[in-house]
Amino acid sequence: MRAIRFFRSVYWDNELRRADIRRRLHADLALYLKNRALAPADALLRRNYVGTRQPIVFIVGAPRSGTTVLYQLMAEHLDVGFVNNKMARYFAAPLIAAMIHGRAGGGHRFDLASEYGRTTGDRSPHEFSWFWHYHGDFRLHDDLSPDELDRIDWRPIKDALEALAGYFKRPLVIKNLNSVAYQVTWLAKLLPSAKFIWIRRDERFTVQSILRVREDQYGDRNIWWSVRPRDVAAWRDKPAVEQVAHQVTDIGIAIESAFESLSADRQMELEYEDLMAKPGETLRRVAGFVGAGIVDEGRLDGLALRARNEKTVDDKTWDQIQVALAP
């Protein structure tokens, strides 16, 4: 049953979270039922946007590698469409949500702050994770096998994303690492207009950051957080640093392998450090790649950012991170 699958996917780590950030089933169930009621009407509306040629741009990379800030910067400074926090509540009716709450075209002036991928403010970009949980099956892991992928009905996913891009009449930017990072090849086949931007960060700081999130979210760095490789079960009893190093490198290997089969005009690689040091130059490259205009050249020229690549763990943990990441 779809509802059971959905809630098991969404709630897989809920009891492990700190009490103050746990989800509330009664509120989520009410939202789910509202979405189920709206879904048929949304499906009818999507027919008006079948086969859009607007690019659908997926941001991919490891957690804590700069994917969220890239998403925010693209939504703020480029003339693109995206799913905002208000729209994300309508995960089964995204086109209706766009018609009511959608804001495209940049210049939103939202705060670049975020908490582990979660942004603040109704107009800020959202990962849209429940959309993927509603249509897919990510209960056990996020790296789906060919058989698992074949069991998903991909038509509603294709129709919804193309409808959003068609409605916005602009490139649509999507960022959801859990459901997309391992599915690049599949999505490239499903969506002829899809493009992929892979942002990478010094892996030492990526691992360090994920360890900090684990401690903050669960109070225990040994509890898995975010994207789960297919072999996640085999790693749960290993030391936390080794778990996270495997998580980061496995995602990178999967994306690199997928990029080998993509044409050059469908892929782009960025360094987080370059984005922070030269945001204007980097975002202009991104704009050219996705086919989007710059909203305000002056604001972009004045943009100043700082990479958060500072060692914050003790020397022993830092040494463990470097050993775990060594070839």
8 pLDDT more than 90: yes
Neighbouring C-beta atoms of residue 146, cutoff 10 Å: 8
Task: Assign 3-class secondary structure to 46-76.
Answer: HHHHCCCCCCEEEEECCCCCCHHHHHHHHHH
Read off the pTM.
0.97
In tens, the pLDDT along 231-245 reads 999 999 999 999 999
Provide the b/e sequence for 41-72 (b: ≥16 CB within 10 Å): ebbebbeebeebebbbbbbbbbbbbbbbbbbb
Please tell me the distance from the alpha carbon of residue 16 to that of residue 12, in angstroms, as a whole number: 9
At 4, the pLDDT band (50, 70, 90 cuts) reads very high
Q: Identity (one letter) of the amino acid at 108?
A: H
Q: Identity (one letter) of the amino acid at 132?
A: W
Please tell me the distance from the alpha carbon of residue 82 to that of residue 42, in angstroms, as a whole number: 17
Beta-bridge partners for 270: 199
Please tell me the distance from the alpha carbon of residue 77 to that of residue 270, in angstroms, as a whole number: 17
Cβ neighbours for 10, distance < 8 A, ≥ 6 positions apart: 23, 28, 129, 130, 133
Helices (H), the chain: 2-10, 25-46, 67-77, 94-101, 129-135, 146-150, 155-168, 177-180, 184-190, 203-218, 232-235, 240-260, 272-277, 279-290, 297-301, 315-325
In tens, the pLDDT along 215-234 reads 999 999 999 999 999 999 99
Residue 173's alpha-carbon distances to 39, 55, 83, 128, in angstroms, are 22, 8, 8, 11
pLDDT of residue 1: 83
Is the distance from CB of 20 to CB of 8 less than 8 angstroms?
Answer: no
Mean pLDDT over 80-86 rounds to: 97
In tens, the pLDDT along 255-291 reads 999 999 999 999 999 999 999 999 999 999 999 999 9
| DSSP conformation class of 119 | E
pLDDT of residue 327: 87
pLDDT of residue 115: 82
pLDDT of residue 118: 85
Closest by CA position to 149, among listed 196, 192, 183: 183
Q: Which H or E run includes 81?
A: strand 81-82
Residue 293 CB burial class (10 angstroms; 0-12, 13-18, ≥19): middle
At 320, the pLDDT band (50, 70, 90 cuts) reads very high
Beta-bridge partners for 195: 57
Domains of the chain: 2-325 (3.40.50)
In tens, the pLDDT along 29-69 reads 999 999 999 999 999 999 999 888 999 999 999 999 999 99
pLDDT of residue 68: 97
In tens, the pLDDT along 154-211 reads 999 999 999 999 999 999 999 999 999 999 999 999 999 999 999 999 999 999 999 9
pLDDT of residue 290: 98
In tens, the pLDDT along 124-157 reads 999 999 999 999 999 999 999 999 999 999 999 9
- % of residues, the chain, pLDDT over 70: 100
Mean per-residue pLDDT over the chain, rounded? 96
Q: What are the tokens at 147?
A: 């058989």
Q: Identity (one letter) of the amino acid at 171?
A: P
Cβ neighbours for 151, distance < 8 A, ≥ 6 positions apart: 137
